[in-house]
Amino acid sequence: MKIAIGSDHAGYELKEELKKWLEEWGISYHDFGTYSPERADYPDYAILVAKAVAKGGFDKGILICGTGIGMSIVANKVKGIRAALCRDPYEAKMSREHNDANILALGGRILGKDLAKEIVKVWLSTEFSGGRHKLRIQKILKYEEELA
């Protein structure tokens, strides 16, 4: 599994923690930045990560800003991306099982580190359920095709 990750300044600290967890779990990643706690604009990183995931070079992506809201808004504008803003492990589980989310958005100013770690762990280890949920995803994909 290969993960694309990115953050703005407000998510930088949590992104650095996330890198340690991924290493601990033996999961490879590419860090698209930001590379310091200096002020940075979340759309720049959301677009980089979302495009990398949509192109198929990565299995999933994780984006972190202050609330996770900006990252999820931007990532969901990229065709093929289903970004889910999750604040607890249940949302993380459901976003994979029901929505086949391919990007996880997190709020670095909202979540404690232990909770964030649990959310990431659950999100990365939960499979899409398919079945009736697949039909719903197909409707999203069909709409994206109509927009193109």
Point out which residues bind ligand RB5 (CB under 6 A).
Answer: 8, 10, 42, 65-67, 69-70
Cβ(82)–Cβ(143) below 8 Å: no
Least separation in angstroms between CB 112 and ligand RB5? 17
The residues near 27 (Cβ < 8 Å, ≥ 6 apart) are 1, 2, 3, 124
Q: Which residue is nearest to ligand RB5 (CB)?
A: 70
DSSP 59-74: SEEEEEESSSHHHHHH
Cβ(49)–Cβ(75) below 8 Å: yes
Least separation in angstroms between CB 67 and ligand RB5? 4
Nearer to ligand RB5, 63 or 101 (CB): 63
Least separation in angstroms between CB 69 and ligand RB5? 4
Nearer to ligand RB5, 70 or 123 (CB): 70
Residues carrying an active site annotation: 65, 98
